[in-house]
Amino acid sequence: MTQAAITFVTGGSGGIGKSTAARMLAHALGSARLRTALVDGNPGQQSQRAWLNIPDSKALEYAFVDGLQSALVRPRDTGGMFALLAGPADPHSRDMTHDYLESIIGLRAMCDMVVVDADRVDGRLWDDPVSFAGGVMRPMVEAGARASCSG
């Protein structure tokens, strides 16, 4: 199986429709029979968790306690055609960036598509390795650029 493509849905300030667009994209991809995971990658807001009414018992941290499969919210429980990896129960966890990065890498091996509902990105966040943009998105974008340039 090939590695799943990753799409980061990001943009400017809140309220512009990033989370809705990410959820709709994940649903459309799942409807096209692609195994799709939606990642709630905005730890401070967790719009997907709130919209889909996902309890804290399904959280990013549990991917490393009980395994990635058990941390996923199944399509029958999301009401969509996608599985969901909810954000962290503790949005201030020191391990959060690492947990997201490792979970998304794990999802790439399990899915056809990974859609990440991410927070805004700006130069300051892109350069901050503790932020989602700098610690998750940037390494993946740079690794993808290296892979496509060498292939």
Query: What's the pTM?
Result: 0.91
What pLDDT digit, counting tens, does each position of 117-150 carry? 998 888 889 999 988 999 999 999 998 756 554 4
pLDDT at residue number 147 = 58
Give the model's pLDDT for residue 150.
46
Along the 151 residues of the chain, how does pLDDT read in single tens digits? 568 999 999 987 677 889 999 999 999 999 999 999 999 999 888 999 999 999 888 999 989 888 999 899 999 999 999 999 999 988 888 899 999 999 999 999 999 999 999 988 888 899 999 889 999 999 999 987 565 544 4
Which H or E run contains 6?
strand 5-9
Strand order in the sheet with 83-85: 5-9, 113-118, 36-41, 83-85
Question: Which DSSP string do the residues of 85-151 spell out, in sequence order?
Answer: E---SSTT-TTHHHHHHHHHHHHHHH-SEEEEEE----HHHHT-TTSHIIIIIHHHHHHHHHHHHH-
